Structure 1
Amino acid sequence: MGMLTLVPHNVHDVSVDGHRMLVHVPTTSLFEMDDVSASVLELFRQQGMASAETMRTAFGDRFTPEDLADCVDGFKRLDILRDAGAPDTPITVTEVEDIPLSTIILNVNTGCNLSCTYCYKEDLTSPAKGERMDFDTAKDSFELLLRQAKDRDRVNVVFFGGEPLSNLPLIRQVVEYAEPRAAEVGKTVDFSLTTNATLLTEATVDWLDAHKFALTVSMDGPKALHDVNRRTVGGKGTYDLVAKKVRMLLSRYRSRPVGARVTLTKGVTDVIGIHDHLKYDLGFFEVGFGPATSGPLSTFNLGDAELQAVFDAMKTLGERYVQGALEGRNIGFSNMHQLLTDIAAGTRKTVPCGAGLGMLAVDKGGDLHLCHRFVGSDQPTYGNVRQGIDVKSLGAFIEEAQDRSNYDCRTCRIRSVCAGGCYHESYARSGDPHAPVLHYCDLMRDWVDFGIAAYVRIMQGNPSFIRTHVEPRRLPQ
């Protein structure tokens, strides 16, 4: 063995209750280190480079030559150690020749009956001025989805707005068309919808239940917090109405768990109180949080201190999640669920999400956008549901997203979990959808380390919880 050098950006280690865990950064794989591997890694961390003679001198007779050789060979296979002077592994960019969609998002109405102060939708308008998608556009969108999902057994249609239930007749038409059409080509279709809940009726809930919709309700907590931003067009708080509708919804809905989605803004940052109200007072299955940092009105965006406080509170709630998991209970904290799912699955992202690859959004005219957040923006579109996807342009975007050589992402220890962050967040903050969301980076690294520690503690104390609650949920048949 000649001189070897450490590849520091391919390895990270986290100590958890006496267990020293090695994170293989390129694949997000976790290994528990024994004394040999921990000692070898520490030596290379101190010296940067070492030879067999260096290790013999450093370790003496602590380890057998065979154990040292096995450890070094393992590290070399993982590209944690490599021959000194060897070039860095180039970024592999996979050429995009097709767009294998699994999901289409239909923006069924630009109108909304609420006027939430932090809303990012650039095409949003009042109900009277709302521009509704027609059935022909929706039908063509679904047919595009079926063509692009030729190798998939399941497809998903997401209804978005504005407030999507303000165009319920179209939603009903799409479902009535899509279910038999999907069956005709041997596929199952699932439906998803995010709503502010104000337009729900018992009849609508029962119909959504019959078609097994995955439902998410946008709600920001108890009355004093929810009413800060989530108001009617006339400026009136909506908590009382929404809470009444949610209680009705949760009392009747049986086909799928229903979750709440919370937007955290200046003055609305009580993560623990919001979670407990939505989970235990109202009865949502789970609660997820999205901090606002790049909205169009900076007055609502969280500053650095507030963002740090939010992440600290999320870790406090995460500790409660871990304690519940050790006791076999799921407290319904979806951010933690997603983090543990990524860790358990060994997530290896080369792009931030499925936007533009497994998922596209359709506006009222049929134009294709990266995702629902870009509808109404000045960013390019990528074809139309009638003429098809502009694979050349969209492929170029996805290929550019894979190459992080111009950013610090290349050597970041969570690059396979984050991959640079949300395209729209980057676009809203800097005008460049490929620029990393740098204001999140240190917080996200700390959050992922917290998740690794949580995963290890749960696996040590109650591994069945991971199999029961964390592994990706199966959709109902």
Structure 2
Amino acid sequence: MIHKFSMKGTNIVVDVNSGAVHVFDDLSYEILDYYKKYDNEKIIEMLSDRYDKLEIKEALEEIQSLEKDGQLYSEDIYKDHLPVGDAKPVVKALCLHISHDCNLRCKYCFASTGDFGRHRSVMSPEVGKKAIDFLLRESGGRRNLEVDFFGGEPLLNFDTVKEIVNYALEKEKEYNKHFRFTITTNAVLLNEDHKKFINEHMSNVVLSIDGRPEVNDRMRFRIDGTGTYKDILPKIKDMAESRNQTNYYVRGTFTRENLDFSKDVIHLADQGFKQISVEPVVAAKDSGYDLREEDLPVLFEEYEKLAYEYVKRQKEGNGFNFFHFMIDLNQGPCIAKRITGCGAGHEYLAITPEGDIYPCHQFVGMDDFKMGTVMDGKLNTGIQNYFSNSNVYTKKECMQCWARFYCSGGCAANEYQFNGDINVPYKVGCELEKKRVECALWIKTQE
């Protein structure tokens, strides 16, 4: 399978199975429309009214050479690397819900403004330590482990964050493990004490801001209804600078109320941020700010505008990284990751303040997906295996999609939310992902 597309005058051809990416001239690009349907003589005859016959013949020979070398129309060998169903999954990462409470009331919050549809609570140090013990036990021979502090708003319970980090570090040598910590915060409470500890111990920090002041404050506001932009911007800037503009992300969400989201990305870049992620909202149908199929043409245009500005600024020496445009064509994800994705439900789990275990932060509160509790260490392996056996080959739509090894089958939580099945992809999300990949590949051709 191949995928061909043109963007801003550049013809790009992707060989799906090998991952090879090519830039074709107009003749070779057009030949591909007929290459698998007709023999060479017929193709030469069909195109000879517009191209020189010798040039057509040479282009055909080059395409045949690429095919022979396994860089076009290559066979799918990934099926041979499918996870073995009977193998015991290894847990390597936890999302610790330090606080099921929040000081904001963001309109689009999937977590029901922090309480995940339950009650407001915070994690105790005892539960956090039990979670670390659970990860140490379930990680098997895996040495490198990840812990993400999440909410609600984690800074509401930062003393517990500190205690859990210190406990995990004490256990590293005993278990021959290495922990990598991250934290996500809305930055409203961010102070020097938080910054110092985060910079000493967190490999990455995600700082939430949606972009332009009016966009941010329309969605992200305090309990009393006041906006946050003017208060959080200097704190987030200071945090980014304190980390030398690396190992952080400013992370925003765009909705139907700001379909011109490229302006928000550029606004953040103009504030000096070098690591930016602004992502599409996943909101309930007819919520008013949910993204719809009719919005896709506008969003596609926005991604192209952003890609063009991205390249322009890189060439001017004033570039920034945009999370969804970051693709490594030389040494990308391993085969297992390309097939199975983020690992939610088997490698990656979420822990609530009470110690309950869920497949990921977006499944928290769904009773059918409660997998156990770290308090007794028992885990529902049936649910774990259900997730570990889900991959691009269990999804009919993915089998027909050229981008399947870039998105690895998409987000299980989104698929369940919209289709009631983690093996049925979320269509709007798929279309946006494919456009982002096209833009990212075009960017690579301009470097």
Tell me which interval the TM-score lies in, with the shorter structure as reference length: 0.7 to 0.9
Deviations 1:369-389 (A, max 9, x none): 121111113441233323243
Q: Which has the higher contact order (CA 8 A, sep 6+)?
A: 1
Task: Quote how far apart the aligned CAs of 1:363 are.
Answer: 1.4
Q: Check conservation: 1:210, 1:255, Cα contact below 8 A.
A: no
Other-structure match for 1:3: none
After TM superposition, the structure 1 stretch with the greater mean CA deviation from structure 2, 104-113 or 308-317, is 308-317
Other-structure match for 2:227: 237
Distance 1:45 1:241, change over 3 A: same
Other-structure match for 1:46: 37
Other-structure match for 2:167: 177
Other-structure match for 2:115: 125
Q: Check conservation: 1:101, 1:359, Cα contact below 8 A.
A: yes
Other-structure match for 1:284: 273
Task: Quote how far apart the aligned CAs of 1:196 are.
Answer: 0.6
Does residue 456 (structure 1) correspond to residue 445 (structure 2)? The answer is yes
Cα distance in 1 between the residues matched to 2:323 and 2:88: 32
Other-structure match for 1:332: 321
Does residue 137 (structure 1) correspond to residue 124 (structure 2)? The answer is no
Task: Quote how far apart the aligned CAs of 1:219 are.
Answer: 0.8
Does residue 362 (structure 1) correspond to residue 312 (structure 2)? The answer is no
**SS in structure 2 at match of 1:189:** strand
Task: Quote how far apart the aligned CAs of 1:397 are.
Answer: 2.8
After TM superposition, the structure 1 stretch with the greater mean CA deviation from structure 2, 98-107 or 289-298, is 289-298
Does residue 341 (structure 1) correspond to residue 347 (structure 2)? The answer is no
Task: Quote how far apart the aligned CAs of 1:106 are.
Answer: 0.3
Task: Quote how far apart the aligned CAs of 1:268 are.
Answer: 2.7
> Quick one: which amino acid aligns to residue 263 of structure 2?
G
Distance 1:177 1:244, change over 3 A: same
1:163 corresponds, among 153, 156, 159, to 153
> Quick one: which amino acid aligns to residue 180 of structure 1?
E
Other-structure match for 1:372: 361
What's the C-alpha RMSD, in Å, of the aligned pairs? 3.8
State the identity as a percent. Answer: 25
Task: Quote how far apart the aligned CAs of 1:431 are.
Answer: 2.4
Cα distance in 2 between the residues matched to 1:310 and 1:64: 35
1:26 corresponds, among 17, 29, 46, to 17
After TM superposition, the structure 1 stretch with the greater mean CA deviation from structure 2, 32-41 or 291-300, is 32-41
Q: Check conservation: 1:158, 1:191, Cα contact below 8 A.
A: yes
Other-structure match for 1:12: 3
Cα distance in 1 between the residues matched to 2:289 and 2:13: 39
Task: Quote how far apart the aligned CAs of 1:181 are.
Answer: 1.2
Does residue 420 (structure 1) correspond to residue 420 (structure 2)? The answer is no
Cα distance in 2 between the residues matched to 1:67 and 1:223: 52
**SS in structure 1 at match of 2:251:** strand
> Quick one: which amino acid aligns to residue 184 of structure 1?
E
Cα distance in 2 between the residues matched to 1:306 and 1:54: 41
Cα distance in 2 between the residues matched to 1:424 and 1:204: 31
Cα distance in 1 between the residues matched to 2:162 and 2:13: 50
Other-structure match for 1:320: 309
2:419 corresponds, among 426, 430, 440, to 430
Matches within 5 A, 1:146-157: 146-157=136-147
Task: Quote how far apart the aligned CAs of 1:286 are.
Answer: 1.6
Distance 1:81 1:254, change over 3 A: closer
Other-structure match for 1:225: 215
Cα distance in 1 between the residues matched to 2:274 and 2:62: 49
Distance 1:178 1:451, change over 3 A: same
Deviations 1:168-215 (A, max 9, x none): 111010011111211333332121111010111112211211224411
Other-structure match for 1:198: 188
Distance 1:22 1:141, change over 3 A: same
Q: Check conservation: 1:308, 1:443, Cα contact below 8 A.
A: no
Cα distance in 2 between the residues matched to 1:218 and 1:249: 12
Cα distance in 1 between the residues matched to 2:26 and 2:122: 64
> Quick one: which amino acid aligns to residue 300 of structure 2?
F
Distance 1:115 1:36, change over 3 A: closer
Distance 1:39 1:71, change over 3 A: farther
> Quick one: which amino acid aligns to residue 11 of structure 1?
I
> Quick one: which amino acid aligns to residue 249 of structure 1?
M
Task: Quote how far apart the aligned CAs of 1:74 are.
Answer: 3.8
Cα distance in 1 between the residues matched to 2:255 and 2:30: 45
Task: Quote how far apart the aligned CAs of 1:114 are.
Answer: 0.8
After TM superposition, the structure 1 stretch with the greater mean CA deviation from structure 2, 381-390 or 258-267, is 381-390
Q: Check conservation: 1:206, 1:252, Cα contact below 8 A.
A: no
> Quick one: which amino acid aligns to residue 44 of structure 1?
Y
Q: Check conservation: 2:185, 2:206, Cα contact below 8 A.
A: yes
2:104 corresponds, among 88, 108, 114, to 114
Cα distance in 1 between the residues matched to 2:63 and 2:300: 40
Distance 1:40 1:177, change over 3 A: same
Q: Check conservation: 1:347, 1:416, Cα contact below 8 A.
A: no
> Quick one: which amino acid aligns to residue 309 of structure 2?
R
Does residue 246 (structure 1) correspond to residue 236 (structure 2)? The answer is yes
Distance 1:207 1:442, change over 3 A: closer
Distance 1:111 1:350, change over 3 A: same
**SS in structure 2 at match of 1:299:** coil
> Quick one: which amino acid aligns to residue 174 of structure 1?
I
Task: Report the TM-score when normalising by structure 2.
Answer: 0.83
**SS in structure 2 at match of 1:456:** helix
Cα distance in 2 between the residues matched to 1:432 and 1:455: 35
Task: Quote how far apart the aligned CAs of 1:311 are.
Answer: 3.2
Q: Check conservation: 1:362, 1:368, Cα contact below 8 A.
A: yes
Distance 1:320 1:377, change over 3 A: same
Unaligned runs of 5+ in 1: 1-9, 83-87, 459-477
Deviations 1:360-419 (A, max 9, x none): 1111232221211111134412333232433343113321444335x2221111111123
Other-structure match for 1:469: none
Aligned length: 435
**SS in structure 1 at match of 2:98:** strand
**SS in structure 1 at match of 2:214:** helix
Distance 1:158 1:44, change over 3 A: same
Task: Quote how far apart the aligned CAs of 1:34 are.
Answer: 10
Cα distance in 2 between the residues matched to 1:334 and 1:65: 37
Unaligned runs of 5+ in 2: 47-52
After TM superposition, the structure 1 stretch with the greater mean CA deviation from structure 2, 262-271 or 250-259, is 250-259
